[in-house]
């Protein structure tokens, strides 16, 4: 092997970040499919008394919904308090015009990326945006939940849920926003998967692999 091909193994993503990533991927996939089914329940004829199909699909939606809510909160916490500052460091690039230009140029095959942290500025801003979309879809989901289950957790959430419903202009609006925001995930996932694969090839780095194994293998002199 040529000496310039020597690469150093570096830990990029902690186990918690990797586990949460794949939990989010799985729950979002299930939520989008079951959510669209809830909106358009096409499997059972209207005159049928078979209500179990809808029941199980709603059940899956709720379980995944609660898992996603927990992961969303944990992930906001980890961004600020994780022992590794690789994500927080990316914020420096967001504040630097030079970093934006470098990233956008590298996307049209001009030059390489020089990142302070693990994400480029456009990537970072996109992830922040989708995290807030996740927060809003979880909140609207919990409001819908509290309107069906009046005891236990639903009961505890009731007064906040009623307040949010009023702010949003009624329950129909809560539902429609919950539905619209589903499309943000559909669009995000397509671009996200494409960019993950593409940037791995473009920059000869571990990209998809490192969110599985945690490791990247940069060249000793590269700045990633």
Residues engaged in binding ligand HEM (CB under 6 A): 28, 31-32, 35-36, 38-39, 58, 61-62, 65-66, 68-69, 137-138, 141-142, 144-145, 148, 175, 178-179, 182, 185
Question: Smallest distance from the beta carbon of 53 to ligand HEM, in angstroms?
Answer: 12
Q: Which is nearer to ligand HEM, 12 or 31 (CB)?
A: 31
CA distance 120 to 89: 10
Question: Smallest distance from the beta carbon of 180 to ligand HEM, in angstroms?
Answer: 9
CA distance 32 to 219: 39
| Cα distances (Å, whole numbers) of residue 203 to 141, 198, 218 | 39, 9, 10
Question: Smallest distance from the beta carbon of 77 to ligand HEM, in angstroms?
Answer: 17
CA distance 141 to 74: 18
Q: Among 158, 139, 137, 138, which Cα is nearest to 147's?
A: 158
> What are 216's strand-pairing partners?
10
* Chain position whose Cβ is nearest to ligand HEM: 141
Question: Smallest distance from the beta carbon of 141 to ligand HEM, in angstroms?
Answer: 2
- How far out from the chain centre does Cα 49 lie? 37
SS3 7: coil
Q: Which is nearer to ligand HEM, 115 or 178 (CB)?
A: 178
Whether the Cβ atoms of residue 215 and residue 15 lie closer than 8 Å to each other? no
**Residue 189 DSSP class:** H
Q: Which is nearer to ligand HEM, 32 or 164 (CB)?
A: 32
Question: Smallest distance from the beta carbon of 125 to ligand HEM, in angstroms?
Answer: 20
Q: Which is nearer to ligand HEM, 100 or 177 (CB)?
A: 177
Q: Which is nearer to ligand HEM, 118 or 144 (CB)?
A: 144
| Cα distances (Å, whole numbers) of residue 102 to 41, 90, 109 | 47, 14, 11
- 78: Cβ–Cβ under 8 A, 6 or more apart, which residues? 16, 17, 20
Q: Which is nearer to ligand HEM, 2 or 49 (CB)?
A: 49
CA distance 105 to 179: 35
Question: Smallest distance from the beta carbon of 147 to ligand HEM, in angstroms?
Answer: 8
């Amino acid at each position: 092997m040529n000496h310039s091909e020597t690469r150093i193994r570096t830990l990029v993503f902690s186990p918690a970040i990797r586990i949460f990533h794949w939990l989010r991927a799985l729950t979002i996939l299930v939520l989008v499919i079951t959510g669209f089914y809830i909106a358009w329940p096409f499997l059972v004829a209207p005159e049928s008394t078979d209500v179990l199909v809808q029941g199980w699909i709603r059940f899956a939606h709720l379980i995944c919904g609660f898992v996603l809510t927990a992961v969303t909160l944990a992930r906001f916490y980890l961004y600020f308090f994780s022992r590794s500052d690789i994500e927080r460091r990316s914020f420096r690039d967001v504040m630097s015009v030079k970093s934006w230009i470098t990233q956008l140029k590298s996307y049209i095959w001009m030059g390489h990326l020089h990142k302070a942290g693990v994400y480029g500025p456009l990537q970072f801003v996109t992830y922040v945006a989708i995290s807030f979309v996740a927060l809003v879809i979880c909140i609207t989901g919990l409001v819908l939940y509290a309107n069906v289950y009046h005891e236990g957790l639903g009961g505890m959430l009731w007064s906040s849920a009623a307040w949010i419903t009023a702010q949003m202009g009624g329950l129909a609006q809560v539902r429609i926003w919950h539905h619209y925001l589903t499309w943000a995930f559909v669009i995000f996932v397509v671009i996200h998967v494409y960019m993950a694969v593409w940037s791995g090839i473009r920059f000869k780095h571990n990209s998809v692999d490192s969110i599985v194994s945690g490791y990247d293998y940069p060249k000793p002199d590269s700045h990633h």
